[in-house]
Amino acid sequence: MGLAEYRRQMTEDRGQIRNVRAIHESSEYATDMEKVNVNLGERGYTIYIGDNILFKLGELLIQFELSKKIAVISNPTVWKFYGIKIIKSLKSAGFSPVKIIIPDGEKYKNLRTVEKIYTEMLKTGIDRKGCVVALGGGVVGDIAGFVAATYMRGVKFVQVPTTLLAQMDASIGGKTGVDHKLGKNLVGAFYQPMFVLVDISTLDTLPEREFRAGLAEVIKYGVIRDSSLFKFLEENREQILNRDRDALNYIISRSCEIKARIVEQDEREETGLRSILNFGHTIGHAIEATTGYRKYLHGEAVAMGMMAEAKISDVLTDCKNRFRIAELINGYFSFKKVRNISNDISHFIGYDKKISDDEIKIFLIRNIGQAEIDSIEIKRLKKIINAEEQL
């Protein structure tokens, strides 16, 4: 679907099932927001997606029974751009925001930061009816969510994600937590937010490399579940890279919906269904680990991982999806040379957490948009990898 066609359809759709006018017509600032519901019974919630909607935060919070004091957790990079808007919105809805700033970076995603936040919340008197707002990327969201899950045995929580990755991946699904020196995301809790507020305009300030890295997860959603999204990414590259708001609205809304539907079926990653979201990640993680988590951003490693995993899938299914997938990825990423990862991988595969006994989970892509999980003997996978000169 081209962007013009999409715009037309979006206008027609307004008021219908997905694209509803979420705010009262009478509101002074009537704003269009897409709504994607995450249907998890009493833990269910809405993801609001729109352009320039940060100011809606306070208004959206009024419906919940909350104390006046609200902790807003962010980092200096994000605060500089959006802090004032958030404070204004909360104040005008009658709340008293408490600003808590943590340093920027994955290396601060640990229990020390969590403890510092607890201390500030206790000192400023945030009580059990208080609320935590996460304003930032996935790092802030994961930390703030864990704080909300554990502070006084749990307080209300809202996500205001500001990176592409956080807007269509990290803020949805309730995984919260921090890193441990022995590994990433090893301490945490499943804790769903009350709602997620995705303001697409915040992506204007996101560094180019972070933006592109986020697109890897969008490509992933296309490959595993949605051939139209995949096609949209193929046909609207320029608009997407120029951060055209309508194009972003479409890819983010679709991605949120796909993630929501998967999370609904397997909220706590128990049935294995949720692991379909790991396409590209087995090899992606191997690349990240063998390069010390420094050389590539997560999305970049996942992009390379998807190319390699698509190749393995093609070998096993006798399909030819890898070419279209690689072409799309190469349109958004400019890897100078595809890393020869076969050694890293055969070494690393033995440590992957998706392994049970001597089998490993792999993805079979029957068609673009139709992927399933299967398992394969490690011995056989190693043979396939070794048989390929460059995965």
| Interacting residues toward ligand NAD by CB under 6 A | 75, 77-78, 81, 104, 106, 109, 136-140, 142, 162-163, 165-166, 169-170, 173, 175, 185, 202, 205-206, 210
Active site residue 278: yes
Residue among 217, 267, 288, 309 flagged as catalytic: 217
Closest separation in Å from C-beta 383 to ligand NAD: 32
Nearest-5° Cα angle at 241, 240 to 245? 45
Which of residues 56 and 175 has its CB atom nearest to ligand NAD in the complex? 175
What one-letter code names the amino acid at 62? I
Q: How many distinct helices (H) and strands (E) make up the chain?
A: 15, 11
Helices (H), the chain: 3-13, 57-62, 76-92, 111-123, 138-150, 164-165, 208-225, 227-235, 237-241, 245-265, 281-290, 298-317, 321-332, 342-348, 378-387
Closest by CA to 79, choosing from 60, 101, 51, is: 101
Considering the candidates 35, 156, 175, 339, report the single residue annotated as catalytic: 175
Cβ 213 to ligand NAD, closest distance in Å?
7
Q: Reply yes or no on whether 24 is catalytic.
A: no
Residue type at position 66: L
Catalytic, out of 212, 298, 311, 322: 298
Q: How far apart are the first and last CA of the chain?
A: 31
Cβ proximity to ligand NAD: between 187 and 376 the closer is 187
Which member of 24, 123, 153, 337 is catalytic?
153
Question: One-letter amino acid identity for 138?
Answer: G
Task: Report which of 274, 234, 370, 242 is spatially closest to residue 313, judged by C-alpha positions.
Answer: 370
Would you say 145 and 157 are in contact if contact means Cβ atoms under 8 Å apart? yes
Q: Any catalytic annotation for residue 259? A: yes
Known active-site residue 298: yes
Cα–Cα distance measured from residue 192 to residue 145, given in angstroms and rounded to the nearest whole number: 8
Smallest separation, CB 116 to ligand NAD (Å): 17
Cβ closest to ligand NAD, residue 58 vs residue 174 = 174
Report the C-alpha gap between 19 and 32 in whole angstroms: 8
Choice between 50 and 136, CB closer to ligand NAD: 136
Q: Which of 18, 269, 354, 382 is catalytic?
A: 269
* Catalytic residue, candidates 267, 278, 309, 321: 278
User: 58 or 137: whose CB is closer to ligand NAD?
Assistant: 137
Which among 350, 348, 347, 374 is positioned nearest to 362, based on CA atoms?
374
Reply yes or no on whether 175 is catalytic.
Answer: yes
Shortest Å distance, C-beta 379 to ligand NAD: 31
The yes-or-no answer on residue 269 being catalytic is yes
CB of 369 to ligand NAD, least distance (A): 22
Compute CA distances 183 → 109, 113, 186, 307, whole Å. 11, 16, 6, 25
Tokens of 326: 């690689």
- Residue 143 structure tokens: 């930390």
**Residue 268: in which H helix or E strand, if any?**
none
Catalytic residue status for 28: no
Q: Which is nearer to ligand NAD, 104 or 359 (CB)?
A: 104
At its nearest, how many Å lie between ligand NAD and the CB of residue 151? 18
- Point out the residues that are catalytic: 153, 175, 217, 259, 269, 274, 278, 281, 285, 298
